[in-house]
Amino acid sequence: MIKKDYYGKTQENHLFRRKKQEKGSGTLRSKISLIFLFLAILAWFGFIFYIPYFTISNFDFTGTDQPLAEKLTIALKGEFDSHKFFVLNRSNYFVFNETKFREKLSEMFILSNLEISKKFPNIIAINAKEKTRSLALIANNEAYFIDYKGMVIDVLKNTEKSYIPDTSRSSGTCEKTMENTSGSSDTCIPQKIVISDSITSQMPQVMIKNTSNAINARISVFNELQVSTIIEIYEKLNTEGMATDIIDLETPEDTKITVKTKEGFLIYLTTEDTIENQIENLKIVLKEKIGENRVNLQYIDLRFGDKVYFK
């Protein structure tokens, strides 16, 4: 029999102790490594998103006319004043989202062409073109630009139009305008809009006398066929030496078109016959029937085929 003695002493294995020490120092090194990694990531984050080198400061508007380029510059600066996730400036090359900005511009402007691209490291290239103005429209006591599809694309600026007294209407039917915003309906003077000659020399000036529909940007007032008909009338009459003053329609859908010439007489046409035929009849009547009496001419009515009426 062997007697076992217990002295309550703890025998530590020196190899085990070394392993525990190594484990503790490894944990400390891991923490330090994580701190350095975090600082490195923070440094790269600051380097990429905050140094001026990647801040978009150059705008390339090649192919965009100057007035539109100025508008787009204002829009870009407004975009760059905002932040993404509250900390990232949208003017940063890596933050700026050209797809989102393209959507914003499409809502702000009516464009026929829009291309946006980024050029490393701090350039935005924009090629944009506004829709072509085809008509100048007067309706609801305001003036608008219409594109070739009949859609309102802009409102004329104050420098492009003026208001003058309209002696053809009684004071009881006058509308309030910029120059006429006070006074009662029985004392105010009716006003009418006059569009600048620099505009009417380039495109037809059309007036709609009666429309209850609100007219705003992106609203279609005419269809494409109506616009092309009005332009055809304008161009053919100018070719024949009869400069148009204004083209009147009672409503947007009216088939009767009234053209007031700068000579003072009126021409009545219809959309139910070709404009070419009506202009040919006009030329014949002016040459063979009216002749020198053209100075006293009040109107020519071309709406009834070869039967042309005039006074």
Q: Tell me if 173 is assigned to some domain.
A: no
Domain that holds residue 300: 135-159+197-310
121 cis-preceded (ω within 30 degrees of 0): yes
Query: What is the pTM assigned to this prediction?
Result: 0.71
Please report, for the chain, how many H helices and E strands are present, in that order: 6, 16
Q: Tell me if 80 is assigned to some domain.
A: yes
- Are both 92 and 139 inside the same structural domain? no
Q: Tell me if 8 is assigned to some domain.
A: no
Report the distance separating Cα 148 and Cα 134, nearest Å: 5
The pLDDT value given to residue 297: 93
Report which of 231, 225, 15, 68 is spatially closest to residue 135, judged by C-alpha positions.
Answer: 231
Half-sphere exposure of 137 (CA within 13 A, CB side): 34
Q: Tell me if 121 is assigned to some domain.
A: yes
Report the distance separating Cα 279 and Cα 270, nearest Å: 11
The pLDDT value given to residue 179: 47
- Are both 147 and 73 inside the same structural domain? no
- In 3-state terms, what secondary structure has residue 270? strand
Report the distance separating Cα 263 and Cα 245, nearest Å: 9
Among residues 89, 110, 130, the one where a domain terminates is: 130
pLDDT range class, residue 88, cuts 50, 70, 90: confident
The pLDDT value given to residue 87: 72
- Are both 91 and 114 inside the same structural domain? yes
- Are both 296 and 269 inside the same structural domain? yes
Half-sphere exposure of 239 (CA within 13 A, CB side): 11
**Mean predicted confidence (pLDDT) in 106-116:** 91
Tens of pLDDT, residues 284-304: 999 999 988 888 999 999 999
Number of domains in the chain: 2
Tens of pLDDT, residues 27-59: 877 877 787 777 667 666 666 777 888 889 899
